[in-house]
Structure 1
Amino acid sequence: MASSTKIVLRKKPNKNGEFPLALRISKERKTSYIYLGHYVQAKDWDNKKIRIKKSHPNHAQLNSFLQTKLADIGRIILGLQTDNKDVTTAQLKDEIESTINKKDFFQVAQEYLNDLESNSKLNQLSSDRPRVNHLKKYTKSVHLPFKEINVKFLKGFIAYLRTERKVSQRSVINNLIVIRTIFNRAIKSGLVDRKLYPFGHGKIVIRFPETEKIGLNTDEISKIEHLEHLTNDEKDAKNIWLFSFYLAGIRAADVLQLKWGDIHNDRLYYHMNKNSKILSLVIPHKALHILEYYKQTKQGQNDFIFPHLKWINGDNDKILWNKTKLAIRKINTHLNSIAQNAGISKKVTMHIARHSFGNIAGDKIPVQLLQQLYRHSSITTTMMYQSNFMNKKTDEALQSIVNF
């Protein structure tokens, strides 16, 4: 079987003026091509040495990729020769493609994103899709073999995120978590050998940075409660924020998507958007007064309680998610005005309602009860969250030392 293979730069450029790299397979004067998914400019390609020139910013990575592909192809051809198989150029191409074109990282990543969308996890989808795109921009390719994602590669990606994209340390961690999730998915599916896993002891360790959580105190919340002379939009924002706070900091999306049918005998029953848990909470008297204000516009059990999503088709997940996201943005804008009118210097957003509840709860409530109120799956999560607000004992200890 007299055949030859060579990596070449094809002649037709893309819209960016870059040319595709392809594997040329020749046998008995018949030629076929397998495109490798990478594009480079003609000036960055050394046709004699069959490699990317150093003028290309990712020359080392791309050359390593090409060498790996050639080695894989060599093993395929050697195996066919050993088996004395006389195959045509088309058959040889199919044999090579079926072996070397296994699912790569971005293919598995797309499956992961598709699953998020099909399961209506749209909030997570909106966060994770840009993180996958960050990796595409870093690699400057639509293909990324899992074997290339090693410690050195990830350190380079981390540096890129910090220096080029100017993201926070928490954002860096979130990007790494998506890569880890997709890598684990590939391992579970048998696409990748676990020994290639680049995370863990002695490799890339993911540690969440400490974040500062600042909530309002009782005086500040009282100022919001008694604030008057508000516009209708500001009054809605105030009511929605207070309703969230009164019920242990229910997340903004969950509050906006509450329906009258979720209330039975002064109790609230609802599904959490974040993890689909079913929760039941008694509605405090202050929150009942807010509901009374909106009962005048109630149209039925399937009607949304708060006005921002009225006349929205609640069965269309994408429309509902988009409108909810837009509504939260508008509410936060009005909360900023409310904070200024109330003389509150802290930044007030819908999420701060949750922090404010934690700040006031402090160490007054057993952590097991707080876990239920926060709807945390793990008590460890509750302890870590609440540690941001439990300062009374340490403050008293400090005062006892310095007050002499």
Structure 2
Amino acid sequence: MVTFRFELNGRPTKNKTYVVYLRVTVGGKRKLIKTMVEITRPSDFNAKCKSENWIRGGVRDAKVLNAQLADILAKAKETYKELDKEGEVTTVALAKEMNTEAVSPSFLAFARERAQMIYDNGGWRNWRKYCGLINKMDAFRKKRRMADITVADMTVELLTRFDNFLHKWENEREPGKLLHPNTIEVQFNILRTLVHRAIEVGIMEASKDPFLVFKYKGVKTTKEKLSDTEMERIIALELEEGSLIWHCKNYFLFSYYCAGIRAADLIQLRWRNVTENGRLHYQMGKNHKDRDLLLVDQALDILRYYHNDDVKQDDYIFPLLDNDAPFAKFVTQADKDRMKPELRHQLYQQISAKNALINKYLKKIAEKAEITTNLTMHISRHAFAHIAQEAGAESSAIKNILGHSNLATTERYMGSFDTSKTDNTLRTLFKKKPTPKPQAEDILNGLSKEEQAIALLKGMSPEQIMAVISAINK
């Protein structure tokens, strides 16, 4: 006599999830077989379910998880029958056989769980990217009529088919166009990160990594940049002082004068970041690296517009974020790292909204300055790098001032701008050669004797001519 029943491990894992086990009882002896199904709350599990709905319907991916459990149960029953034909069945033998033929866990469920962890940790931008990939994978699953995408499904063949699927996906931001190859590269970069994470936590074998074989690389694009002349036109642009477009011009120029400070960092700058000796000291939000920059005269002039006797050290420099907002109490980057997810999300939304507003007015500034480049806050970073390179700055110096982690990043960044080598090659190759002076015989050829004599005499000094005459008279 054998019985099968699913039950939940009451002790959470280190990831604060609860694992579902299959309890097998043979001849009064029980054995628990671990499944790869995990849930976040014990109340989401229903041991006394009907119609194979062990995971309650309100749980994300409940249908997929229940399908996995149903497959495990069917496999257990089939395994029992096979063992029973061979002789006496024991729970140990059944568990051993089951573990060697374990049902592959859901890769989609794993990806959603990972995205939720990123969301809870405040990584809103990455969370959105992960959700974008998951939505595309789910659409791919439906088109392929797959019940799920499991870890075992993650093969080179599946990635190749997914690649083809993405190349037919319409670009939501630009209707009428398909996804850019570099956008597809981002999708595969995230997918590769998820696969490696699955290997780290032990739900996938390292030897099964499809990215050991599958490769995808986007295309090189020309980075938007501004010339020195275009920057001068923006600087010289006369706008109504105090207007929103005037402020946005100040934000852009301040970023430029401060070596391309990123928009999110600029928006969050406080007066405490300006030191008494005229420097800007802050920690980058993207990689938590410290930056200590000299504030040039042009940057100091902009700061004077916004400073008054009433400002406090912890006030924001630019009138973009509310000093009284709940998130404003978290001043340093270390403070912000300890913010609750909801508050961090609120700050992220405010920064995104302000960045979008600035970029909107930068497009108007570009029109007024007769600039065709798609002007955004990030272009100030490109403009600084390009003009610094044109001025002869070393790549290592540009790396340090941009806050890049390694020189290779800076060199790839500068690759689109540095044309000095190709310029010199073209100048050398097509350098005009001087017209050769005609030889004496070429000049005299075809002239009469009198004309030849005159031509020769023209090239002589008076003394030489007199010597020739004297020789003739002798």
Give the TM-score range, shorter chain: 0.7 to 0.9
Aligned to 1:351: 378
Shift of 1:106: 2.3
Larger Rg: 2
One-letter amino acid of the structure 2 residue matched with residue 162 of structure 1: H
Q: How far apart are the structure 2 equivalents of 1:144 and 1:36?
A: 20
**Aligned with residue 115 of structure 1, among 114, 117, 125:** 117
Q: How far apart are the structure 1 equivalents of 2:149 and 2:375?
A: 42
Per-residue CA deviation, residues 21-48 of structure 1 (Å, 9 max, x unaligned), is xxxxxxxxxx9754699xxxxxxxxxxx
Mean alpha-carbon deviation: is it higher for 140-149 or for 353-362?
Answer: 140-149
The TM-score normalised by the length of structure 2 is 0.65
1:223 is the counterpart of 2:251: no
Distance 1:83 1:335, change over 3 A: farther
Answer yes or no: is the 8 Å Cα contact 1:136–1:142 preserved in 2. Answer: no
Aligned to 1:333: 360
Shift of 1:153: 0.9
1:367 is the counterpart of 2:395: yes
SS in 2 for 1:228: coil
1:185 is the counterpart of 2:197: yes
One-letter amino acid of the structure 2 residue matched with residue 342 of structure 1: A
Answer yes or no: is the 8 Å Cα contact 1:214–1:359 preserved in 2. Answer: no
Per-residue CA deviation, residues 196-241 of structure 1 (Å, 9 max, x unaligned), is 11103xx211324212112111111111111113461111111111
Aligned to 2:416: 388
Answer yes or no: is the 8 Å Cα contact 1:298–1:305 preserved in 2. Answer: no
1:77 is the counterpart of 2:80: yes
Aligned to 1:246: 257
Q: How far apart are the structure 2 equivalents of 1:35 and 1:245?
A: 58
- Structure 1, unaligned stretches of length 5 or more? 5-30, 38-64
Aligned to 1:25: none
1:401 is the counterpart of 2:406: no
Shift of 1:277: 1.8
1:233 is the counterpart of 2:248: no
* Number of equivalences: 345
Answer yes or no: is the 8 Å Cα contact 1:336–1:349 preserved in 2. Answer: yes
Shift of 1:75: 6.6
Q: Percent identity?
A: 28
Distance 1:129 1:96, change over 3 A: same
Aligned to 2:210: 198
The TM-score normalised by the length of structure 1 is 0.76
**Aligned with residue 322 of structure 2, among 310, 324, 331:** 310
Shift of 1:251: 1.1
SS in 2 for 1:264: coil
Mean alpha-carbon deviation: is it higher for 185-194 or for 257-266?
Answer: 257-266
Answer yes or no: is the 8 Å Cα contact 2:227–2:383 preserved in 1. Answer: yes
1:288 is the counterpart of 2:300: yes
One-letter amino acid of the structure 1 residue matched with residue 319 of structure 2: P
Q: CA RMSD in A?
A: 3.5
Shift of 1:2: 7.7
Q: How far apart are the structure 2 equivalents of 1:402 and 1:285?
A: 43
**Aligned with residue 207 of structure 1, among 217, 234, 239:** 217
Alignment of 1:54-73 (within 5 A): 72-73=75-76
Aligned to 2:183: 171
Answer yes or no: is the 8 Å Cα contact 2:104–2:151 preserved in 1. Answer: no
Mean alpha-carbon deviation: is it higher for 303-312 or for 376-385?
Answer: 303-312
Distance 1:78 1:362, change over 3 A: farther
Shift of 1:384: 0.8
